[in-house]
Structure 1
Amino acid sequence: MPETSDSPGLHTMVGPKIAKVNVAQQLKMLREEAGLSVTSVADAMEWSVSKLTRIEKGEVSIQPLEVRALLDHYAVTDANLVAELARLARTSRSRQWYSRHRLAGAYADFVAYENEASVIQAWQMLFVPGLLQTSDYARAVTARTLRADPNDEQVRARVELRLDRQKALFERMDGAEAPRVVAILDESVLRRPIGGRAVMARQLDHLLTLAEDDTKFALGVAPLDLEHHSGLGGSFELLKFSDKSHTDVLFVEGAAGRDFLLADKGSTDRHNALFQDLLDYGRTGDRALQMIRSIRDGMQGD
């Protein structure tokens, strides 16, 4: 299909989340280029202003027929562009595995973006990143976080979501365009026996097993005696996408459920630099794995 726009995501095979965002951005841009207000377009389409606003913010999906109607109103005559935006609209409406979890807010967007990222970079100061957790460790850390019994309904729901995220990741890793996970852990994470020493030893074994395929997983460790430590501001996950389908997305999981999802260049550039510092000054490759093995052996020996 000939190129008709340099906008990220057009003429690129993307998932439903990025498709929705790209349709939203394109429709807003084309409306503004046509010199039309939100109110006038909503009136012409016999929609509420709220509906059009939410479509342009990427909060809701739009039907392909509605896309064609809008583009006709905007006097867009490029048949390729019309067809491509209609295709993206159709993609954006496809139901995904995470729909059944009924997620909301920034965390819902994070899970959707993570499910389409080509590179997932995680820095964690407190516990093993969710995508790398064993089920026993996941139950233990979630129960501790919620101050609840491991069999509590809310604990089970969160662990189920985490395991579903892992399942989706591994399914994508078996595909043609396998994503890659780069995780850097504070040394204290490795030494903190969440769930008990036996559970923690199995968790460390799991990390070592994952790291055997370095095309899919790479692990780093920020030692406790690291002087040049750029990660003291807190844990985060940085998502990157193939080609130019979307800008980087930064996720920061906050206390009391106040999560933050940022895509502005200032925030993502800063955290890209922080992550690179952790790679440059921390332990990576065999040195990181040797530390994990040593701590694992200590857990098993006690």
Structure 2
Amino acid sequence: MSEEEAKQLLEKYANGQVSPEERNVIENWYANLDASRKTIPLVRKVAIGEAMLQHIQQAIADQPSKKSYFITHWIKIAAAIILVASVTFSLWKLNDQQKSPATQITASTKAGERKKIVLSDGSEITLAPLAKISYPAKFDSRSREISMIEGEAFFSIAHEEKRTFQVKLPSHLKVIVLGTSFLIRAYRANPHVEVAVSTGKVAIQNKSILLGTLVKNEKLQFNKATGKSILKVVQQTRAVKIEFAGATLQQVIQRMEYTYNIKILLSDKSFADLKTTATFNSDQRPEEILDLICSLHHLRFDSDQNHQTFKIYK
């Protein structure tokens, strides 16, 4: 339902002109208002509330003279007031939540110290000596964002399609990922900020400008003084564990596609539910991993000439 349609329906309800079906829509919406408020956009709530308030003010100014109509009319107004109050309360709660961000935690390391941080989504960050980060105790439902204040850290980010992970860096840089592993070096005394990708893919922005999209074994070096960046291919990055504990073949495929930036197809959809328990690491080639997994399930695979698309078959 559009915003305009919602306004018209509420006006019809207050005038007693709704059909039984429309009345159910309004009353069900009111009954479930608290559960719905998290998904209804704030702008739409404000618009609905303002429209209802205007109608109440108009109704008070134009109240009829006959007693029976007067009573009926004020019953309608009372119903509208209840709805306005409910919307107002929901808006207050929503604004209160927005003004009270999750508790921020600052973690740092001393000289010679390394520390592993596990975030609320299961992502892991390993801090090198003299590093410092800030992160929320719990991520909200829409995004995941932390700040890299100083030093070097290795990130292993839990993969989520609908919630990106962002790392804010000095010099207005930002690293945006969906789920991958990468290294960041951002020392204040160093004129460069470096991001090197071990698995998956990341995008790096300077304010709103995209500096580059990196995949496995690529590194971006950003000069803080000049604002220029250089993309390099590195021979080797830090290997990460790729572990499957009773994962379905479909889950294995999704993890491998993201880790190696490849495409894997199944010739038969029934293969998708086959379970796999095994441990690998990102230094292994995808062909090696697929060979072992297919052997477990008595399957085979082949690839295109570029080794970017693989097909699993019987």
Give the structure-2-normalised TM-score: 0.23
Q: Which has the higher Rg, Structure 1 or Structure 2?
A: 2
Q: Which is strand-richer, 1 or 2? A: 2
Q: Which is helix-richer, 1 or 2? A: 1
